[in-house]
A and B are shown apart, each in its own frame.
Chain A
Amino acid sequence: MTAPDVRHALGSTLADADILTEIEDLIPYGFDGTATLKERPLAVVFPRSTKQVSAVVKWAREARVPVVSRGNGTGLSGGSVPVAGGLVLCLNHLDRIVELDRANLTIRAQAGVVTQDIFAAADAAGLFYPPDPGSMKISTIGGNVAENSGGLRGLKYGVTRDYVLGMEVVLADGSICRLGTACVKDVAGYSLRDLFIGSEGTLGIVTEVLLKLLPRPTARRTLLATFAAMDEAAATVSAIIAAGIVPCTLEFLDRRTIQCVEDFAHVGLPTDAEAVLLIEADGHPAAVDDEVAHIEKLCREHAATTVRVAADAAEATRLATARRSAFSALARLRPTTILEDVTVPRSELAAMIRDVEAIALKHDVQIATFGHFGDGNLHPTILTDERDTAEMHRVEAAITAIVEAALARGGTITGEHGVGLAKKPFLRRQLGDASYSLLQLVKRSFDPDGLLNPGKIFDLPA
């Protein structure tokens, strides 16, 4: 199978410009947002309808060509990287918001719609789509569903899964089927919809989603508290939760991350602080004012060196945007950044941060840490240089140690980025043999030929 064969075979299905086979076109589809991956697909195709997706998948099955679905390639676990070559099926031309239903508080969108556009469409209608992954300005909703993306508002509002009511998928044989309904209550059979959320393109290809919306909170306020020690920040978080307050966002950045973010965003983060907490409360104005006052008091009681309440929505947005740049901004320190995504029960988080610090010392690697304090999702980011082989060996050892520490604390190897390629070596360790085999059984029943995103999550025994 060569690129011209693909062009010849799919030429009647897709427009010529929607099939890419030149090397200059293929190289940029060899990676996503994950460090040190470099592959090359056989061809890249851009279907413009579900029917076209179905036709491409049908052909790929007959021709036994692997298919990797992709949105804008901002994944952080290698999910859309074509390790087995084959076709990259780019869904970013399926970019229509089909319907916003105010009566039922739902929005129906094609897989290639950018998350930010879904948020904006809901917002314009006085409604609210809460999931807000760091890359929401460019990540697609199809990708969010495939990876079950989280975001900054996970503590109060949950993750993508909590908003998916239904979807349209193309199965491995090219058949099109609808999963779920517009009903909040629906127990008709196994929830296949839930199986597809977080399935990383290995069970089928999501082409359209039906999402639940909420009424837009009438007030939103943000504050930033700085601390001279990470433990004090952690104690503050515990106190906030213990007081029965559930902020919508409870983020933290460590010193290194603060410095890099400030260097990029210039929002006035204190570069001499050991930790900052970025906290947002939303809801009814009176309740929000009350919560913010209470949080401010608790911060001061727990040795916060400064507490700054954002003056207006614009400042709050600037702070949140700065936080979203954290991972990328860390590249300012070293050329290779490897982002981890472990999650532990919230009560274990402060201890987990200490584990990470000890691991960095022990293995002599630079690690910056930031993440979602409120929901226990931690992003230790290893700052290194892929050209330094000796250091890369230490980095691998450090990554393994971090993952093992998280599992020992009852956590998970990935909170919101997916297993993809990055976490494959650790999945069995977390799940145990029985669950791991069940997963493989599910994969086989949906994709008997193993052509949908092969080599991701786990390898199938031959």
Chain B
Amino acid sequence: MSPTSATPSAPSPAVDHGPTRHLGAMDYSVLQQCMHCGMCLPTCPTYVETKKERHSPRGRIALMRAVADGELAVSKAFGEEMYYCLGCLACTTACPAGVDYPTLFEAARAEVEDAKVLDSPKRNAIRATVLRGLFTRPRLLRLVGRLLWIWQASGGQTLFRRLRLTRLLPPNLRRLEPQTPTIRARFSHQLIQPVESSANPKPLRRVAVLTGCVQDLAFSEINRATVDVLRANGCEVHTPPVQPCCGSLHGHNGDLATARDLARRQIDLIDPDRFDAIISNAGGCGSHLRNYDHLLAADDAYAAKAATWSRKLRDIHEYLVEINFRAPLAPPSPQTITYHESCHLCHGQKVSVQPRDILRAIPGVELRECGESSWCCGSAGIYNITQPKTSGWLQDRKLDLLTATGADIVATANPGCHLQIANGLQAQGDDHTTVEHPIVLLARAYAAEAND
């Protein structure tokens, strides 16, 4: 049958698997939008690794469409494929047709969870504990963080490692143990007042800062720096001391119901109508936070607020450039920096130039571009836990390119990437190169003005 014929030449399925709740119910044109031209292939890490079509964006979309068409059951293989995808969204940047891959990807994973094809007692327990138990309860998460901090600060962890007791752990935990983030002595609410006035006597803008979960426990100084640079640029900064998780982990892992709950809680806590902007400083969270309008579109009570929320949500770098942040006047402090782009910052939020603008504005900075700066580092949420092989391959590929620049500092703006790169450097025995958030470097330069 020729492609010019009136009907697609699909063989009618022997079995109609019937409609599905997510892919089958969605607007079909979202699935149709992929014209399978292949422009996404060279940008997809899993396709580049395997050269197998099902591991490519258009291959995955073909499978999703087959599910929506009732030609394919939501099978275990389908489930594994949807979780083999990094969700890095490099394909969305490459796609001239403008396919809405994030929506497809979330729907597909939700489909997989509905069908329970990947269920196992262990997986279910982990998901219940982590996704629904821990990451919906900010206070509990902080308590766990505090206990971890005691373990690390008391020398327990060091002793444990030195005595090689990690051998007692089950293999998967043994592999993960060295990747445990170093918990900070003080969390965001201990560093940041709920309301901090602008450095100018008359604030020009009022903004809210989101402190995140991992960012709050392991990188609270980045949150502090975020508040500092906003204050230095005429903003009155509101930072609620206890904030729920934004739900990105849930949205990306097929738990859309919890993701919606968390989005509603976030909007209840921070009323978007009261602020000029809502600021995120973590690439992955920001990408999801921007999506609240889509996430809550069908929720009559929240749709309007969610639309306002998405309109006002800004990544910190994007916002600083938007409000014409001032370049620090500190004496130049020579430093060589290379920039790794968080996938969800560049592909998810299309923020790519701004972090570089900020780095270049710091006196004494030499910015050295690395190859494949917008390639995934393999952290990808919890991908480094679920897919260690591919994650490791991407980590090595990334480190090679970063270290090739010879830069002393790797700047990156997402806690997952931060840990993945820092752990990789540590494993290579590199104690010279440091990983920093661009905003921390900017805050440092502002602070140096005062000391000048």
CB contacts (< 8 Å) of B52 on chain A: these are 20, 25
User: B55 → chain A, closest Cβ, in Å?
Assistant: 9
Given contacts A392-B6, A399-B4, A421-B2, are A22 and B33 in contact (CB under 8 A)? no
- In whole Å, how far is A323's beta carbon from the nearest beta carbon of chain B? 11
Interface presence of B385 (CB below 8 A):
no
Contact call A28/B59, Cβ cutoff below 8 A? yes
User: Cα distance A457–B2 when bound, in Å?
Assistant: 11
Contact B6 A389 (CB under 8 A): yes
Cβ contact of A24, chosen from B3, B38, B63, cutoff 8 A:
B63
Q: Are B98 and A264 in contact (CB under 8 A)?
A: yes
Residue B172 at the A interface, CB < 8 A?
no
Query: Nearest Cβ in chain A — how far from B265, in angstroms?
Result: 36
**Nearest CB of B to A398, in Å:** 10
Structural contact, B63 and A74, CB atoms closer than 8 A: no
B51 to chain A: closest residue by CB: A92
- Judged by DSSP, the binding face of B is loop
- Chain B residues near A325 (CB-CB < 8 A): 39, 96
**Is B38 within 8 A of A33, CB to CB?**
yes
Contact flag A24-B37 (CB < 8 Å), given A335-B29, A422-B4: no
B10 lies within 8 A of chain A by Cβ:
yes
Residues of A within 8 A of B42 (CB): 114, 116, 137-138
Whether B9 contacts A36 by the Cβ 8 Å rule is: yes
Question: Is residue B7 within 8 Å, beta carbon to beta carbon, of the partner chain?
Answer: yes
Interface stretch (choices B71-79, B135-143, B221-229): B71-79
> Is A33 touching B98 in the complex (CB atoms < 8 A)?
no
A313 to B: closest C-beta gap in Å: 16
At the interface, yes or no: B66 with Cβ under 8 Å from chain A?
Answer: yes
Minimum Cβ distance to chain A for residue B219 (Å): 33
B38 near A28: Cβ-Cβ < 8 Å: no
Tell me the chain A residues, 148-170 only, with Cβ under 8 Å from chain B: none
Determine which of B7, B33, B62, B96 lies in contact with A31 in the assembled complex, contact meaning CB atoms within 8 Å.
Answer: B62
A30, CB-defined interface residue at 8 Å = yes
The chain A residue with its CB closest to the CB of B66 is: A27
Cβ–Cβ contact A335 & B53, under 8 A: no
User: Using Cβ atoms and an 8 Å threshold, which residues of chain A touch B97?
Assistant: 328-332
A260-280 residues at the B interface, CB under 8 angstroms: 260-261, 263-265
A74 to chain B, nearest CB (A): 4
* A37: Cβ under 8 A from any B Cβ: yes
A23 CA to B11 CA, complexed, in Å? 14
* Given A33-B38, A264-B98, A325-B96: A24 and B7 interface contact (C-beta under 8 Å): no
Map CB proximity to B onto A336-375 as digits: 1 under 8 Å, 0 otherwise: 1110000000000000000000000000000000000000
CA separation between A326 and B241, bound complex, in Å? 49
B39, closest chain A residue (CB): A328
What distance in Å separates the Cβ of A215 from its nearest Cβ neighbour in chain B?
A: 27
Which residues of chain A have C-beta atoms less than 8 A from B37's C-beta? 33, 74, 135, 327-328
- Asked if B54 and A28 sit within 8 Å, CB to CB, the answer is yes
Contact of B4 among A29, A92, A396 (CB under 8 A): A396
In Å, the complex CA distance between A23 and B96 comes to 28
Are B9 and A28 in contact, CB atoms less than 8 angstroms apart? Answer: no
Question: Are B9 and A38 closer than 8 Å at their CB atoms?
Answer: yes
Look across to chain B and name the residue whose beta carbon is closest to the beta carbon of A386.
B8
B333 lies within 8 A of chain A by Cβ: no
Interchain nearest-CB distance for B434 vs A (Å): 31
Select the residue from B37, B56, B75 with max chain A CB neighbours within 10 A: B37
Residue of B nearest to A422 (CB): B3
- Chain A residues with Cβ under 8 A from B264's Cβ? none
Complex alpha-carbon distance, A387 and B31, angstroms: 13
Contacts of B8 in A (CB 8 A): 36-38, 386
Chain A residues with Cβ below 8 Å from B56 are: 28
| Cβ-defined contact, A25 with B6, below 8 A | no
Cβ of A410 within 8 Å of any chain B Cβ, yes or no, is: no
Assuming A24-B63, A28-B58, A72-B41, is B33 touching A331 (CB within 8 A)?
A: yes
Q: For A32, list chain B residues within 8 Å (CB).
A: 36, 38
Contact in complex: B35, A392 (CB < 8 Å): no
CB-contact partner of A138 in B1, B33, B38, B62, under 8 A: B38
Closest Cβ–Cβ distance, residue A151 to chain B (whole Å): 15
Q: Would you call A389 and B7 a contact (CB within 8 A)?
A: yes
**Contact of B408 with A by CB under 8 A:** no
Q: Which residue from chain B places its CB closest to the CB of A34 in the assembled complex?
A: B3
Q: How far is the CB of B269 from chain A (nearest CB, A)?
A: 35
Q: A396 touching B6 by the CB < 8 A rule?
A: yes
Contact with B along A410-449 (1 / 0, CB 8 A): 0000000000011011000000000000000000000000
Give Cα distance in the complex from A24 to B11, angstroms: 16
Would you give the 0/1 interface string for B123-146, flagging 1 where the beta carbon is closer than 8 Å to chain A? 000000000000000000000000
B3 touches A33 (CB 8 A): no
A393 to B4, CA, bound (A): 9
Q: Which A residues lie within 8 Å of B32 (CB)?
A: 335-336, 385-386
A328 near B72 with CB under 8 A, answer: no
How close is A35's CB to chain B, nearest CB, in angstroms?
A: 6
Q: Which of A301-334 contact B (CB under 8 A)?
A: 325-332
Taken together as a complex, chains A and B put the C-alpha atoms of A32 and B42 apart, in Å, by: 15
B451 close to A (CB within 8 Å):
no
Q: Is B5 an interface residue (CB 8 A)?
A: yes
A173 within 8 Å of B (CB atoms): no
Instruction: Provide the bound-state CA to CA distance between A409 and B51, in Å.
Output: 42
Q: How far is the CA of A37 from the CA of B37 in the complex (A)?
A: 12
Q: Bound complex: CA of A85 vs CA of B114, how far in Å?
A: 33
Residues of B within 8 A of A139 (CB): 38
- Give the docked Cα–Cα distance between A263 and B96 (Å): 9
Query: Which of the residues A28, A137, A328, A335 comes within 8 Å of B62, measured between beta carbons?
Result: A28
In this assembly, does A46 line the interface, its C-beta being within 8 Å of a C-beta of chain B?
Answer: yes
B36:A31 contact, CB within 8 angstroms:
yes
Q: When the two chains form the complex, which single residue of A25, A31, A37, A332 contacts B98, counting CB atoms closer than 8 Å?
A: A332
Query: Cβ of A138 and Cβ of B6 under 8 Å apart?
Result: no
- A90: chain B residues at CB < 8 Å are 51
Distance of A93 Cα from B49 Cα, bound (Å): 11
Contact with A along B95-128 (1 / 0, CB 8 A): 1111000000000000000000000000000000
**CB proximity of A34 to chain B, nearest CB, Å:** 5
**B40–chain A nearest beta-carbon distance, Å:** 9
> With A46-B51, A328-B35, A331-B97 in contact, is A39–B6 under 8 Å at CB?
no
Residues of A within 8 A of B11 (CB): 38-40
- What is the 8 Å Cβ interface bit string for chain B, positions 312-353, against chain A (1 contact, 0 not)? 000000000000000000000000000000000000000000
The answer to the question of B81 belonging to the interface, with a C-beta cut-off of 8 Å to chain A, is yes
Nearest residue, chain A, Cβ from B40 = A138
* Pairwise interchain contact B63-A27, C-beta atoms closer than 8 A: yes
What chain B residues lie within 8 Å of A336 (beta carbons)? 32, 35
Q: Are B54 and A39 in contact (CB under 8 A)?
A: no
B135 to chain A, nearest CB (A): 30
Let me know if A78 is at the binding interface, CB within 8 A: yes
* CB pair A24 B4 closer than 8 Å: no
Tell me, yes or no, whether A395 is within 8 Å of chain B by CB. yes
Residues of chain B with a CB closer than 8 A to A201's CB: none
Minimal Cβ-Cβ distance residue in A for B62: A28
Chain A neighbourhood of B98, CB < 8 A: 263-264, 329, 331-332
Query: In the assembly, what is the distance between CA of A114 and CA of B28, in Å?
Result: 33
B72 touches A73 (CB 8 A): no
For the complex of A and B, list the 10 residue pairs with the smallest distance between their C-beta atoms, beginning with the closest.
Answer: A28-B59, A331-B97, A328-B96, A325-B96, A335-B32, A28-B53, A329-B96, A74-B38, A392-B6, A24-B77
A74-B37, A335-B32 are known; give 15 further A-B pairs, CB within 8 A: A27-B71, A28-B59, A30-B62, A31-B62, A34-B3, A35-B35, A39-B11, A74-B41, A116-B42, A135-B37, A329-B96, A331-B96, A331-B98, A399-B4, A422-B3
23 contacts between A and B (CB under 8 A): A24-B63, A24-B78, A25-B77, A27-B66, A28-B60, A33-B36, A36-B3, A37-B3, A44-B53, A74-B37, A92-B51, A93-B51, A260-B96, A264-B96, A327-B96, A328-B97, A329-B97, A332-B98, A385-B29, A386-B8, A392-B5, A421-B1, A422-B3
B residues near A (Cβ < 8 Å) are 1-11, 28-29, 32-33, 35-39, 41-42, 51-54, 56, 58-60, 62-63, 66, 71-72, 75, 77-78, 81, 95-98
